[in-house]
Structure 1
Amino acid sequence: MIIGCPKEIKPQEYRVGLTPNAAPEAVAHGHQVLVEAGAGLGAGFTDADYVAAGATLADTADAVFAEADMIVKVKEPQAVELKKLRDGQLLFTYLHLAPDPDQTRDLLDSGCTAIAYETVTDAQGGLPLLAPMSEVAGRLAPQVGAWTLQKANGGRGVLMGGVPGVGPAKVVVIGGGVVGTNAARVAAGMGADVTVLDRSLPRLRYLDDVFGQQFRNRYSSAGAMAELLAEADMVVGAVLIPGAEAPKLVSRADLALMKPGAAIVDVAIDQGGCFETSRATTHQDPIYEVDGIMHYCVANMPGAVARTSTIALGNATMPFLLALANKGWQRACQDDPHLLNGLNVNAGQLTNAAVGAALGLDAITPQSAVGSA
């Protein structure tokens, strides 16, 4: 199989879909690795690194898309890339289709088979290809939130850890999953006063058992949310429903409860965001103000730390990448029901029920897609 890796073209996206470490693994299994020249530079990998690892360089993205049987990326294909996909080609990347009807339509029209990192599961009910980026984004959230809180950026001018005689920032994290846990740990490590909201009592017990007094947790209810929003200097949105659009948990009316200059960091923005007032931004222009509240809603937060993120993602994707290349996507998905859960699109048909529900489109089961392919 020819495995192709084009350069990412989403604004300020510096990650790359394949590390040089992945190339010799694939080559050793009899595959060819085709990498667009310059694809790894943003993450600190040179063309020479890829060549030394056994990859072949392509001068253009057009050549990669034209020759490769499988395209491996990081972010969802952009409009110009969607036009390059072809019938029967395999796409392996993050997709986040639920809030993106245009991309979904173009993927269906292309005839390709698309497996989304964010809906691949594991035996523990986790999302192993989303987890590393959730860890990165969670740990970044207090860092970028602290920057957003600075007065020069429109924030309240509150220091996360305070100083002797002055209390710390109050941080509310909505969601106690991978993103929320990492955000809470880092915010607490910065000296902030942190509370995590979640509706799962087992998860709240886990957080209490593992982290003790590092941060507090509370059961998420309308009353608790209103109380904590009124106190918060920073609110981190960290709620995920796999494959589906993120629920809107904070309305525009709720912003009136918050202190002027408070900061919102919406880590769920890839799935549409969990604040009613969220809209996707870029690293180049990351924050905006609504009703006196500063919003940070960068849709590819881990791209800011591209080297760490690329290596972490590559570690997680490599076993699945090799299975797809060695067996073909049908056999690989038949052998691994967790990889099968990543199938979102095949030959013009939607194969993820949550995406179908979000977009009002019919979806077949991924099992039937494998059986009919």
Structure 2
Amino acid sequence: MHAIAALEALPIDDPLSLQDIDLPDPELRPTDLLLRVEATSVNPTDVQRRSRVKAGGPPRVFGFDGAGTVTALGSDVEGFSIGDEVWWAGDASRPGANADLEAVDHRIVAHKPRSLSFAEAAALPLTALTAWEGMFDSMRLSREDSGTLLMVGGAGGVGSALTQIAKAVTSLKIIATASRPQSQDYCRQMGADLVVDHHDLTAAVRAAHDGDVDYVFSSYTPGNIATYGELLRPFGQIVSIDGGKLDLLPLFPKAVGFHWGYMFARSRYETWDISQQGLILAQVADLVDAGQVRSTMTEAINDFSASGLQEAHRLVESKSMIGKVVVHR
């Protein structure tokens, strides 16, 4: 099959940073679907992983969002048929969607929204799962919960997915951060109640919102812990999705709860509730088809090749992306 791979860590402007290569078709595990990839999107994790590829190792095929069709079924698969149109976020320990075919455990796959094209659908799985798991698994929110959630990085892929899901299935007030006029407008389009500039976050939130915030969902955590400690109410909660070494001591006086958000944990460790990811994607698909959540695709590259993916990586590396960039056939 055709695949697009990184063979060593190179700047994205190097023509060899991503290459078109031939690889054997994936071998199926009993619980796998073999999926024909029609579209994928690029997330910050693709860029980060490309920067760590060691020369001389095996080709690395990234792509942690996908939409396409089922072409074969493992012996233990239930709930799918050949020809089904599906979407998924994959497994970071296995080759991804930057290829003609991908083998994915059926428990982390769902039927894609009927109202979206493959390209539109490929923008959502990873970010929707990240947002859903952070709100409902980590923070233990429910559909009845109210309060205020500060979304730091509101115009990014996760921020734009979280804002929509939160407005659709909770009673939360959403404060999103964005600095440029275009980013701020996009946050409002996604449903944010308030949009503030992140450059002086404490002052901006205090000026826009009366009182403490109850929850923080953070795409930019290093350097912001003290600010979050100041803005949060006692016993508030934070979900951080960007990793890094952090000094959490400023959160201690208010007994703030801190959670890491990592949507690959279920697939990486094949947890007892791994099928929860398929169920989440099915619920998000229902919200999309009901008109309550829309695709966050803002850039579409009709070039499923190394060249097309290099352009998508360039856009993500620019750190000015609003929403998601998708590469499709």
TM-score bracket for the superposition, by shorter chain length? 0.3 to 0.5
Q: Which has the higher strand share?
A: 2
Structure showing greater radius of gyration is 1
Higher relative contact order (CA 8 A, sep 6+): 2
More helix by percentage: 1
